[in-house]
Structure 1
Amino acid sequence: MAVFTSVTLDDLSSWIKQFPLGKALSIKGIASGIENSNFFITTETGEYVLTIFENLTFEQLPFYLKLMRHLADRGVLVPAPVANIAGELVTALHGKPASIVSKLDGASQMHPEPVHCAAVGAMLALMHLAGKDFPLYQENLRSLNWWHETTPKVLPFLSDELRHLLCAEVHYQDAFDSTPIYRALPRGPVHADLFRNNVMFDGEKLTGFFDFYFAGCDAWIFDVAVTVNDWCIDTATGELDVARVRALLNAYNLVRPFTTEESVAWKPMLRAAALRFWLSRLYDYYQPRDAEMLTPHDPAHFERILRLRESLPVPPLTSDL
């Protein structure tokens, strides 16, 4: 992630004494993304990831960390949050909320084949089912309300054509949000940011999902759409790769069958997923924050994806296996 808050080894050595992890041996900033300050740390007991939260509050964080623990206890491959000696999962570092989680094995698969997409689809379905009885609730903080709040902040920077595209899609999603189909969609905790760089593989073996800090409660099919819009595309054009789409959807459907309502909502949700990330990238591009290492993403990538999802047919949720 972009490093907004600096942490030295001396800082870490003092702070980490409250955790049952032994002496801090090393710390290295992770330079990807733009939301939190992340670091790989090594202690006498192993390797971990330290996150300092730049936007989320002490009150919001228990939802994410307890969700990760809940999922891990039910067989979903996710990092395990580490509690301090007082049993707290979130403590202050440099005046900001911070947490430590276990480090997953493997590496991100940035050039996925259908076999990787199938593994992601199956684990995503397992994650959705495992979260059904999670007792805490928090809405998806980057859904419709946020779109309404953020759109006016980026409109002054856009051409007339892009302003029209953005406002028309928000209006379309408003209308779909009010339909009985949308209200009937199965819901629960979602990852909401399951891109290639948030999943680890060892060869063809999936070793874990991570970075749950955009998670919230939303329609499960929206989570599937976010995932397909990253894992199953030609990154140069945004066009869907049908073989990868089918691998992911078929694997998901075998674990948790899609509903009729989800089939109807599939194309609107692919559009919603594209809109969500186009808008967030527009905001981060035009309203940047100071950071030591900042890697803003190109908004045009999800603009292209949104145009394609609006204009072209998409593979259906289910097909003959």
Structure 2
Amino acid sequence: MEKNYEKVHLVMGVNIHITLNELQELFPSYNFVNIEATKDGVIDTTYIVTNTQTSYILKHFDRDISSKIQTDKELLTLLKDAELNVPEYIDEKKGWYLFSILKGSSPKVIQLYHIQALARFMAKYHAQTTKINSSTDFIDNYPIKEILSYTKKYFYRHYKELENLQNYSLKTDGFIHGDIFKDNTIFDGEKIGVFDFIDGGSGEFAFDIAVALISFNPKNKSLFTNAFLRTYNQTAPKKLTLDELQAKEPSARQLYALLRIERYKNTQRANELLKIC
């Protein structure tokens, strides 16, 4: 019998509500005993579900992105085969997807070894994604012109700061994540795990790294940036210079500032990226 999952609006990572009984009916062989709504996952519904043996991530993609879901599944398989620490696709029923859960926690203070682990991951990730032909450019995931129009109407000062994104584009080096902020990573000691690849697309590796370092190195410490580049360039598919990286930082900051304005309908969190006084 088809279930009509109730649409709810919660200040957490859940837009579509599912009960434990409904979950058990969908995935009877897993013997789930608990379901917990997350406080993250702003765009898509995300739960942690548990049986007596292990926990899983349960996701419902609250958008019409069937082609991106297929690309995501193929990408995760490719990365797992390359021994990168990413979630594993487990199962799917009626629009609900089960993924393995990564072990670890988010560091409160970023240390040099976190930067080096991030660099090793991204070098290996980029080496793998040069093989992927994506029909989606990363920048096309976002309706930039529409968001700029909204920003112009309600936050004109910030619009003037961001209007150069109107026709922004990226070269294609491979499939980039584009959103490796700290909240899309986890650390188990010195081992990094990365998740939420669903909104990736074709783009430049320098931009991918610039986004990551905005989050991992917000004060732009030269020690961290140089350590990242030294580590990354040891195994990266192509070496990256400091000038190339710094050239991408302003647009990376501007894009995510714009997205924060659209998401939160204010400029407070955008200012963190733009450093507007």
Could you give the per-residue CA deviations for residues 266-321 of structure 1, whole angstroms, max 9, x where no partner exists?
2331112111110110001129xxxxxxxx982221221xx69xxxxxxxxxxxxx
User: Which residue in 1 is equivalent to 2:120?
Assistant: 122
In structure 2, the CA distance between the partners of 1:259 and 1:148, relative to structure 1 (3 Å rule), is farther
2:34 is equivalent to residue 26 of structure 1:
yes
Distance 1:24 1:230 in 2: 35
Q: How does 1:1-321 map to 2 (within 5 A)?
A: 2-17=13-28, 22-83=30-91, 90-92=92-94, 97-134=95-132, 136-141=134-139, 146-159=143-156, 161-167=157-163, 169-170=164-165, 174=168, 177=169, 183=171, 187-203=173-189, 205-233=190-218, 239-256=219-236, 258-259=238-239, 264-286=243-265, 298-304=269-275
SS of equivalent residue, structure 2 residue 264? helix
RMSD of aligned Cα (Å): 2.5
Distance 1:45 1:297 in 2: 42
Q: How far is 1:135 from its partner?
A: 5.1
Distance 2:106 2:261 in 1: 25
Q: Does the CA-based 8 Å contact 2:127-2:237 persist in structure 1?
A: no
Q: Give aligned-pair identity as a percent.
A: 20
- Structure 1 residue runs of 4 or more that deviate by more than 4 Å after TM superposition: 257-260
Amino acid at match of 1:138: T
In structure 2, the CA distance between the partners of 1:137 and 1:272, relative to structure 1 (3 Å rule), is same
Could you give the per-residue CA deviations for residues 197-236 of structure 1, whole angstroms, max 9, x where no partner exists?
2111122x22411111221111111111100111012xxx
Q: Does the CA-based 8 Å contact 2:209-2:245 persist in structure 1?
A: no
In structure 2, the CA distance between the partners of 1:12 and 1:206, relative to structure 1 (3 Å rule), is same
What TM-score comes out, normalization by structure 2 length?
0.86
What TM-score comes out, normalization by structure 1 length?
0.75
Q: Does the CA-based 8 Å contact 2:68-2:199 persist in structure 1?
A: no
In structure 2, the CA distance between the partners of 1:98 and 1:75, relative to structure 1 (3 Å rule), is same
Amino acid at match of 2:229: L
SS of equivalent residue, structure 1 residue 4? coil
Q: Does the CA-based 8 Å contact 2:84-2:125 persist in structure 1?
A: yes
Q: How far is 1:98 from its partner?
A: 2.6
Structure 1 segments unaligned to the other structure (5+ residues): 84-89, 234-238, 288-295, 309-321
Q: Which one scores higher on RCO, CA 8 angstroms, separation ≥ 6?
A: 1
Q: How far is 1:3 from its partner?
A: 1.4
In structure 2, the CA distance between the partners of 1:263 and 1:240, relative to structure 1 (3 Å rule), is closer
Q: How far is 1:24 from its partner?
A: 0.9
